[in-house]
Amino acid sequence: MMLDLFDAQQAPIQLADGAYYLKGFARPIANTLCTLLQAQLAEQPPQKMITPMGYMSVLTSSLGHVGWVSSRSGYGYVGCNPANQQAWPAIPKPLLHLASRAAQTVGYKGFVPDCCLVNVYNVGSKMGLHQDKDERDFSQPVVSISLGIPAIFLMGGTQRNDKTTKVNLAHGDVVVFGGTSRLFFHGVQTVKQANHPLLGQQRINLTFRKAM
Ligand code: SIN
Ligand code: FE2
């Protein structure tokens, strides 16, 4: 218990120019976030998305004014969930505040995301190296919050084959990337079998973006 409290107070670790790992930043409210999310995801169940390159191994949903969707012909942000034509649920206030506070902690002031992309990783899911470049304004960072079982996150550079820095993201860990690293390639290695007391054999990653 004591160790948890100390873990939550660690200073940001730089992963690349403009990219930071905030170990345990969301830990104090991570369990509450899981409960909130489970209610939201019951409304908009995460779906398997197909991309022009094939199926993604994660399941995806969104919160916010816009959500990220993909099809065989391309991907981008839309105001309604194409599965049910409904608007995406709002980003809960505590989540919005957490994302803004994480961004501010590493120097990105005034970050107000309009999309929270929810990626659900089951054991064996991964995310290949990619750039987050469907947003309109690259002056705004991306904030990522991880919940549930751990996964190894890779932060690379401007080229797909650039060397990557690996970081093990656990329940309540946060990554913020902006500035020079805003368009850096990044991804997630295949999630290994583990069990989390609240989410079972699942990892949920939330990425907050200013998409429009
Ligand atoms: C992403 O890049 O969209 C996901 C990152 C993660 O799952 O940690
Ligand atoms: Fe990404």
User: Residues lining ligand 2 (ion), CB within 5 A?
Assistant: 132
Q: Is-contact 124 77, C-beta < 8 A?
A: no
Torsion of CA 174, 148, 121, 93, to 10 degrees: -60
- Whole-prediction pTM: 0.95
How many angstroms separate the alpha carbon of residue 103 from the centre of ligand 2?
A: 16
Q: Which atom of ligand 1 is nearest to the CA of 151?
A: 8
Instruction: Give the model confidence (pLDDT) of 16-68 as tens digits.
Output: 999 999 999 999 999 999 999 988 888 889 999 999 989 999 999 999 999 99
Q: Which atom of ligand 1 is nearest to the CA of 153?
A: 8
Instruction: Give the model confidence (pLDDT) of 151-162 as tens digits.
Output: 999 999 999 999
How many angstroms separate the alpha carbon of residue 17 from the centre of ligand 2?
A: 17
How many angstroms separate the alpha carbon of residue 187 from the centre of ligand 1?
A: 6
